[in-house]
Amino acid sequence: MFRRIGRAFKEAFWGITHHFAMAFSTANAVTLTLVLVVVFTVLVANISRITIDVEGDIQIYAPISDSVADDDLGSLKNRIEKIPGVIRVEYSSKEAELQSLIDSFGDDGKIFEIYTGENNPLPRAFLISVGTGYSLAQISSQVELIEGMESATYGGATIEDFVSLLSGIRTVGYGFALALTALAVFLIYNTIQITINTRKQELGIMRLCGANNSYITAPLVLEGIFIGMMGAVIPILLTIFGYRYIYERMNGQLVSGILKLIPVYPFVYYVSAFALGIGVIVGLVGSMLSANKYLRWKR
């Protein structure tokens, strides 16, 4: 078994070295494709991170009517929690609301300290967190219909449109990444097909000598995997050093501190492993499809 494995690796390296120009050109094409895949992967991952952060920061602010007794707050909270899409409901007392107002103004917020205690005009409120994919507007409308709630606000349609835009960009990015991966498979498929065509006589002799399909296919599949791995080297280097450069130049944020980029480590290692895995998979799939197409025969 070990002898057969060693022979397969030896013939795979022989095939690459004796058809180096073809293998190199295909590796370059795979490199370009994987660079685009990596770019879209990094973009989509950061958009997903930003989308999750934005959705996590958005809460529905729902003031409670003064007519609601403290003893009824628990049942009121339970009714809100039963609304589909609501993942968390936090109670904020009048004192907590005032303190939040003071903190939001910084040093100037001290002027509101005169309202501490019985002079506090602010209402009690529920801060409602909504799950991904649920409409803030619809949930706000349902909260407003509950008896004892004065209103429900979340920032308006602009916030919801922004989240929808990010989700749309993320979906398009996934689509491009899949399309580029399919393109890489096609490139390696054609390369192995050309390699087989140039070695038809050699492969024919092997079949006449009794070599089975796996014996002939193994070196070709390994050759495709090696080409895929060669094509992944530059994308991996660009991921590690390029993303770190961009992250440092942008101080880890996009536009503002609210839109934060994913930290460099271990993110670049995950993307690099993904790029290498894609290279190996497209090499494996492309070479197997090409080899099986030629070797499809009945013994």
Query: How many angstroms separate the most distant Cα atoms in the chain?
Result: 99
State the alpha helices, DSSP H only, in the chain. Answer: 2-18, 20-57, 73-81, 94-104, 136-144, 157-198, 200-208, 213-237, 243-249, 264-295
What's the predicted TM-score (pTM) here? 0.65
DSSP letters spanning 219-265: HHHHHHHHHHHHHHHHHHHIIIIIHHHHHHHTTTEESEEEEEPPPHH
Domain boundaries, the chain: 2-54+167-295, 59-154
pLDDT of 165: 76
Q: 149 pairs with which residues across the strands?
A: 64
pLDDT value at residue 124: 92
**Quick check: 66 and 150 in contact, CB under 8 A?**
no
Taking each helix axis from N to C end, the angle separating 20-57 and 2-18, rounded to the nearest 10 degrees, works out to 100
Question: CA–CA separation, 149 vs 76, rounded Å?
Answer: 9
Residues constituting the chain: 299
59-154 maps to CATH 3.30.70.3040? yes
Contacts of 134 (CB under 8 A, 6+ apart): 84, 85
The SS3 call for residue 127 is: strand
Q: H helices within 199-212, ranges in order?
A: 200-208
Q: What is the mean pLDDT of each run of 10 residues along the chain (299 residues)?
A: 64 70 79 85 83 72 90 92 90 89 82 84 90 79 90 71 73 79 74 66 65 71 85 92 91 72 91 90 79 58
Q: 43-71: string of b/e by CB count within 10 Å (b at 16+)?
A: bbbbbbbbbeeebeebbbbbbbeeebeee
Task: State how far the Cα of 293 lies from the Cα of 203, in Å rounded to an integer.
Answer: 14
Residue 160: the pLDDT is 64
Sequence-separated (6 or more) residues with CB below 8 Å from residue 41: 173, 177, 271, 274, 275
Residue 131 pairs with which residues in a beta bridge? none
Q: Which residue has the tokens 């993904």?
A: 274
In this structure, the number of other CB atoms found within 10 A of the CB of residue 38 comes to: 26
